[in-house]
Structure 1
Amino acid sequence: MRGDSRLSRMLHVLIHMDRHDGPVTSELIARMLNTNPVVVRRAMAGLREQGYVTSEKGHGGGWTLARPLEQITLRDVYDALGQPTVFALGVTQDDPACLVEQAVNDAVSEALREAEARLLRRLGEITVGALAQEFERRRAARAT
């Protein structure tokens, strides 16, 4: 099963946008991500609705950052993407009357809720700006 990579892809896009001079078109982002511009516009729409990016139509238009990367957390981007499912794991509902299934589902569900809460809390502690700084550190290290 293929994982949902929208969060990492949009974080990637935001960092590139920060380093780009002027608006970035959906077509350019689509080429960068090897996808369709319609997919890009759909993903970017949630970021626009939350006030993280703006868009201008027409010649010279495109997407621009609406706030500094230091003011955007990974959790913010996750939320703007519609809070995609965090884990592929889940419970079964083959026989809801089965006491074994109930016990298993309760334990697995509780563990998943705890893990998701912890992950989302951590995503809220990391800014996209911190990722951009890490990129710069790695780029400088590679240059030496």
Structure 2
Amino acid sequence: MSANSRLTVAVHILSWMTLVARTRADPVTSERIALSVNTNPVVIRRTLGLMQKAGLVRSHRGANAGWTLARSAGAITLREVFAALGEGGPFALHPSPPNASCPVGRGIQPVLGRVYGALDDLIERQLSQTTIEQLLDETLSGTSEPNRP
């Protein structure tokens, strides 16, 4: 199994857009963003579309087409980005019910549900305390220490 990298791509997109916005207000294209992320512009457009629905970015049409942040990077938390992607927590119960006649199968789901719920709460709290602006500043400073509020 591989880890889902959609949040990483979305944060990269927003961080790069924030960096560009520091020197110019023009919209940026998905092609330019894709060069930084090193992926296909279609992946960038899909991710931007989800973030647009959540009010994190705006699309611009016409001669100066592209994308801009809808709010300041200091006001966009990683929790909002994660929510915009429409993904659940990192852990999930198996979709098929386990064998109820097995002692493990009978009791494993409620136990794991509590553990996974607690982990989801911790993750959500951490994501709520971190903004795109903070991540970009740490990235540019070369700090390897995680952000501590």
| 2:72 equivalent to 1:53 | no
Q: Let me know the Cα RMSD of the aligned residues.
A: 2.0
> For the residues of structure 2 that align with 1:65 and 1:17, how far apart are their CA atoms?
7
> For the residues of structure 1 that align with 2:45 and 2:141, how far apart are their CA atoms?
30
> Relative to total residues, which structure has the larger helix share, 1 or 2?
1
SS at match of 1:95: coil
> For the residues of structure 2 that align with 1:70 and 1:96, how far apart are their CA atoms?
49
> For the residues of structure 1 that align with 2:51 and 2:68, how far apart are their CA atoms?
11
In the other structure, the counterpart of 1:16 is: 16
Over the matched positions of the two proteins, sequence identity in percent amounts to 34
| TM-score, length-scaled by structure 2 | 0.81
Aligned residues: 138
> 1:115 pairs with 112, 119, 128, which one?
119
| TM-score, length-scaled by structure 1 | 0.84
Amino acid across the alignment from 1:30: A
* 1:89 shift after superposition: 5.4
* 1:104 shift after superposition: 1.9
Amino acid across the alignment from 1:105: Q
**1:58-103 deviation per Cα after TM superposition (whole angstroms, max 9, x unaligned):** 3321011121111000001001111x23324534634134332122
| 2:30 equivalent to 1:26 | yes
In the other structure, the counterpart of 1:74 is: 78
* 1:137 shift after superposition: 2.2
**Unaligned stretches of 5+ in structure 1?**
140-144
